[in-house]
Structure 1
């Protein structure tokens, strides 16, 4: 490509980048301002709870939620989702998992996956809500 064509093309790209916010006001706002409020106000944390199981802890203004994944990261749909309406797995699930204080200010996940009845429970705090987000009851 000839040098004068490259210079013209470069100038056109720069002009388009600078003019973008004039034609699309959303382009001038930061990415956080363009994302839906529910996604911005959700904090997520993945933790290993043993036996190759990962718990995905999410905290949003509507409360805590937990889903489970296997070692390669595939969802374990048989466990379903824990939340305020269903804070614990049934005894038939094969593991013990429960959201303690699902309506409280600092919910925690209490789990026991391996080790038998005398093994201690594992406790994991939920991540904090991002600044500026308020919890609902």
Structure 2
């Protein structure tokens, strides 16, 4: 994973997914990304899936009017043309982040790098922008 920081968009996987999102008129890539991690909850989701699900959860937060301070312009443009997410979608985004925080390959990478606390703080910030 090409990563330079703990931020949701500080890795190539997330940014590649963001670039692909522009081509979708519906929210199917968001649903797919979140459900992929949720469906792997018992199997420690992989780093790629986690990075993409985090970016998808950031889109949901942006749709709610709570974008990340480093939200890519591509997401801002996509959000402008789409309605606010349903309560179900917000719950899916929260659940995906909670799965990633509980046990995932991405969490393991941050544990091994010594940056776990900072990364967990970034994920808690994301959760705070996804209200119940």
TM range (shorter): under 0.3
Q: Would you tell me which structure has more helix in proportion to its own residues?
A: 2
Radius of gyration: which is bigger?
A: 1
Q: Would you tell me which structure has more strand in proportion to its own residues?
A: 1
With a CA cutoff of 8 Å and minimum separation of 6, indicate the structure with the bigger relative contact order.
2
Normalising by structure 1, we get a TM-score of 0.25
Normalising by structure 2, we get a TM-score of 0.26
